[in-house]
Structure 1
Amino acid sequence: MRYVTIRAAQLLCLAAGLFVARSLAAQVPDTLLTLAGARSLLRQGSPDYRAALAAADAAGEEVWSAWGSLLPTATLQASFGRNEFTTRTFVDPIGVSQEVDPPVTDVSKSVYQSLVFNWSVFEGGRQFFDIGAANARARAADLAAVARRVQLESQLETQYFEALKQQELARLARDLLAARRRDLEITQARFRIAAVAQTDVLQAEIQVGQQQLAALRAELAAEAARRELSKLVGLEEEAAYELRDTALVFDPSQLRRDELIVQARRSNPELARLDANIDAQSRSLWSARGSWLPNVSLSFSLSRSERLRREDSMFKWDPRNTGQNFSLSLSWPLFNGFEKKWRTGQASARLQEARHNKVAGLLEVEKEVRNAYDALFAGYQSLRLQARNVELARESVRLQTERYRIGAATYIELQNATTQLTQAEQGLIEARYEFMKSFAQLQGAVGRPIAVPQ
């Protein structure tokens, strides 16, 4: 039931992703790619995620093989034979080889048909433990696919906000370029009335050229971020779409680190996969121990056969001689060159490895939660400081601009204030989206969405 539920959810995600993909395939310039739409596209287009689902399907098929070991096997056999032998010589009673003239040719034909049933009744209990191990491996493969999806979605959210950040930085660079051009016009107008020196005009032209380079670099960085996002969700690079700013800044003080760690232990799919792997290895150990016990098997067969004459057809489907056979066999391999000890020791070592991997996984998840939690708090504090810096820098630019217009400030003083504002605005944009990237990483470490405090 769990396997069917997971597959049904995957089909729903596939349908939603295809709807968004068709919209993007039209390449309409104003197509909007939301974060939810990007997730749907990732679930149906990511090769990493599709590979994880294929591995889960393969593990699910192993369960059928394990259950089949409990059932008897049925084999239908049919053989048709023709043998022709020609005698040209013989040895007479006194030991002399003589020729037969004319040669004697003998033809024999036979037909044999059988239906055989074999049933391994008891193999030390290995069939039952193999069924449990196969189910555990299938469950681990399903959880591995879920864990891969959670990991990819965390990467997707991180890259989505990275693309938004680069988009905003490119917009800021364009706005700053327009502001530099306005400053150049003002400086040129003041130069014409001899209010400033020609060096101020040259400095303004240099500022315009430098900002043009900065705007070009920002555009290239934004395009690179979008291409990385397109690759992650499986879109062609030339697909045109717009990103929506869904960054919601909140005060993370209501989040409790210890509670998040507890949630991660319960809901992180990677930890659940490690638990399923421990279960599978434990059952495999019991299966290996079953090799020390005897085996019991049953066999039953029905057969028909007949030797045919020369003139009879070789393909006879109703031979007249019939037979039945029933056997009960008991075998107990007492010694096979330490193979049983090797198998049991190997299974035991794999179980210990799985348990150690679970401990390592717990430590890794706790570390990721703590790091993301600290980064979220640091990002929020940085965001507040950068917002305050932007307010102060804007006021400084306003004052310096007025002073420059009336000749009370030099162009260098105005540019210093403008540079401070540019750095503050860039810092604010970076702090805002770094905060959201930290939140995405925190959700990925926990393994489930986290309710945003109101």
Structure 2
Amino acid sequence: MSAKPIIAAALAVWLTISPEARAFDVLRTESAIPATPADAIVPDAGGCLFAPPGNPLLLGEAVERALCNNPKTREAWADVKAQAAGLGIARSAYLPTVAGTAQLMRDDSVTNVAGHPSLSSASTANLNSESISLNWTLYDFGARSASVTNASALLAAAHSMQDATLQTLFVTVAKDYYAAQAAAGALAALDVERMAADSAKVAAARVDRGIAPISDALQAQTAYTQAVLSRNKAHGAWQTAAGALAADLALSPDVPLQLPPVTNGVKPDAAFAQSVSDLMDDARRTHPTVLAAQAQVDAAAAKVEQTRAEGLPNLSLVSKYSRDNQPASLGLGVAEFPSTGHEWYVGLQLTIPFFSGFSRTYQVRQTQAQLEHQQDALDDARQQVGLEVWNSYQAVQTSMNGVKDSTTLFDIAQRSFTVAQRRYQAGVGNILELLNAQTALANAQQQRIQALTDWRASRLRLAGSLGRLETGSVVDQ
């Protein structure tokens, strides 16, 4: 039988396999891949499809957009896919390998024996040969098992690193969101410009009536001009902060964003009663960064065992079947005759690596050193997580006091300005008293806005340092 029909049939079968069939997850690794780059935080595959940004843009939406679309989270998602495929590669070592070969040749053979033409020969033939071979490792002293353990640990590490990336980006987006919200709030709250304009009008009227010196009008006009400059500066700060937030969401910095007022949303409470020591202990056990480092240690330990086992004997089942149509001849100078032949065998193959130039020894030492490195990295991760929890906890406590103090300061500054304004209008106060109260009120107003956003940002930073951030963390702005 000619090889052409066999080759054509094999190619036809291979080429007609659909992409879906080729992508069939026989070794069950795709179940470990999250449906979205946002993993469990935005588990719905449709959750990463967004309309234009909301008006106003709430923090929850901003976080979901960033976790779905930011390049950092997509990179971490791709790493999980790669490690899941690596687990499939490791599991595939338990299956046999089957390979086929086929050859089509045109053979033109001429032999000229000088002085003995009867011994000369010439032949032309179309030759074909086909073979199929099987190799199945039956026992390898745990090399494949260690390889699967290593791949599983690396997949777990990739998952934990994805979680850590999500937590880190969550905190970054919240920080940039609150910075933009504070900038927008400062811009909207700068009615000091209106107050300065009113004060300038009152001072000008008093000067016109001859009951105040011209210096009052000039000082009031100076304060008004400074308020205008402050408003322009605040507008620039808002544009910069909004551009940074848009970049976090994988949007162009010139996309217009509108945020809710700072005064809306969650207020400080006594929700953080747990001791900082308990919080640090929890984080050292459960934070995604620590879990990723622990998985890397497990992977490195499995790699040591895999490297050792690869230097031990290997028992395999081997089999091969081949056939060809090589012409046969009875001897030199005798014409060739068409013929066919076939061969097959099946048996066990034991491979014993007696000596490899000491490379296996150094490979084991290398993997042991890598294990030590990962163990040190785990200790460092635990230390860094504990420090971040400590710093975040202190920031929450400080910001809670800051909100309370800034609210008190704002109330006092508001009453002081009202009194100074009435005194000046009544002619019993001076312009400096009014302008000082006006400046103090503007500063107190901005400090209150900043204190509120600082507290909300530190609250989410603490949750992020504990590895507990989820979309429910930002239901209230």
TM-score bin (small chain): 0.7 to 0.9
Determine the C-alpha separation between the residues in 2 that align with 1:301 and 1:389: 89
| Aligned positions of 1:359-370 closer than 5 A | 359-370=379-390
Deviations 1:271-308 (A, max 9, x none): 11111111111111111111332122221111112224
Aligned to 2:457: 437
Aligned to 1:50: 74
Deviation (angstroms), 1:413: 1.8
Aligned to 1:169: 186
Q: What letter is aligned with 2:223?
A: Q
2:47 to 16, 20, 23: 16
Determine the C-alpha separation between the residues in 2 that align with 1:23 and 1:233: 12
Tell me, yes or no, if structure 1 residue 81 matches structure 2 residue 105: yes
Aligned to 1:424: 444
Deviation (angstroms), 1:6: 5.9
Q: What letter is aligned with 2:391?
A: N
Q: What TM-score comes out, normalization by structure 2 length?
A: 0.84
Tell me, yes or no, if structure 1 residue 66 matches structure 2 residue 99: no
Determine the C-alpha separation between the residues in 1 that align with 2:217 and 2:277: 59
Deviations 1:373-422 (A, max 9, x none): 01111111122222222222222222221221122221112111222222
Deviations 1:31-60 (A, max 9, x none): 221111112211221111011101110110
Deviations 1:11-43 (A, max 9, x none): 74452342xx3133xxxxx72211111122112
Deviations 1:340-381 (A, max 9, x none): 111111111111111111111111000000001011111111
Deviation (angstroms), 1:104: 6.5
SS of 1:254 mapped into structure 2 = coil
Contact 2:32 2:84 survives alignment (8 Å) = no
Aligned to 1:143: 160
Deviation (angstroms), 1:220: 0.9
Determine the C-alpha separation between the residues in 2 that align with 1:332 and 1:2: 33
Determine the C-alpha separation between the residues in 2 that align with 1:201 and 1:262: 62
Aligned to 2:269: 250
Tell me, yes or no, if structure 1 residue 7 matches structure 2 residue 23: no
Contact 1:269 1:447 survives alignment (8 Å) = yes
Determine the C-alpha separation between the residues in 1 that align with 2:233 and 2:443: 16
| Aligned positions of 1:172-191 closer than 5 A | 172-173=189-190, 175-191=191-207
Identity %: 22
Contact 1:267 1:447 survives alignment (8 Å) = yes
Q: What letter is aligned with 1:52?
A: A
Determine the C-alpha separation between the residues in 2 that align with 1:67 and 1:79: 32
| Aligned positions of 1:106-125 closer than 5 A | 106-125=123-142
Determine the C-alpha separation between the residues in 1 that align with 2:393 and 2:29: 32
Tell me, yes or no, if structure 1 residue 305 matches structure 2 residue 305: no
Deviations 1:183-203 (A, max 9, x none): 111111111111111111111
Tell me, yes or no, if structure 1 residue 91 matches structure 2 residue 107: no
Q: Return 120-129 or 258-267, whichever deviates more.
A: 258-267
Q: Return 178-187 or 377-386, whichever deviates more.
A: 377-386
Contact 2:403 2:448 survives alignment (8 Å) = yes
Deviations 1:243-279 (A, max 9, x none): 2343432235524212322332343111111111111
Determine the C-alpha separation between the residues in 1 that align with 2:379 and 2:249: 33
| Aligned positions of 1:366-385 closer than 5 A | 366-385=386-405
Contact 1:84 1:106 survives alignment (8 Å) = yes
SS of 1:22 mapped into structure 2 = coil
1:240 to 238, 247, 256: 256
Q: What letter is aligned with 1:92?
A: G
Q: Return 223-232 or 422-431, whichever deviates more.
A: 422-431
Aligned to 2:407: 387
Aligned to 1:203: 219
Q: Return 417-426 or 42-51, whichever deviates more.
A: 417-426
Aligned residues: 429
SS of 1:408 mapped into structure 2 = coil
Aligned to 2:239: 223
Deviation (angstroms), 1:91: 2.8
SS of 1:196 mapped into structure 2 = coil
Contact 2:156 2:292 survives alignment (8 Å) = yes
Q: Return 187-196 or 115-124, whichever deviates more.
A: 115-124
Determine the C-alpha separation between the residues in 1 that align with 2:31 and 2:230: 53
Tell me, yes or no, if structure 1 residue 413 matches structure 2 residue 430: no
Q: What letter is aligned with 2:378?
A: K
Over 3 Å counting, the alpha-carbon distance change for 1:307 and 1:17 in structure 2 is: closer
Aligned to 2:12: none
Contact 2:301 2:371 survives alignment (8 Å) = yes
SS of 2:52 mapped into structure 1 = helix
Determine the C-alpha separation between the residues in 1 that align with 2:63 and 2:177: 10
Deviations 1:167-223 (A, max 9, x none): 1111122x1111111111111111111111111111111111111110001011111
Aligned to 2:11: none
Q: Return 346-355 or 395-404, whichever deviates more.
A: 395-404
1:357 to 377, 385, 401: 377
Aligned to 1:399: 419
Contact 1:170 1:222 survives alignment (8 Å) = yes
Contact 2:29 2:88 survives alignment (8 Å) = no
Q: Return 261-270 or 152-161, whichever deviates more.
A: 261-270
Q: What letter is aligned with 2:34?
A: R
Contact 1:200 1:411 survives alignment (8 Å) = yes
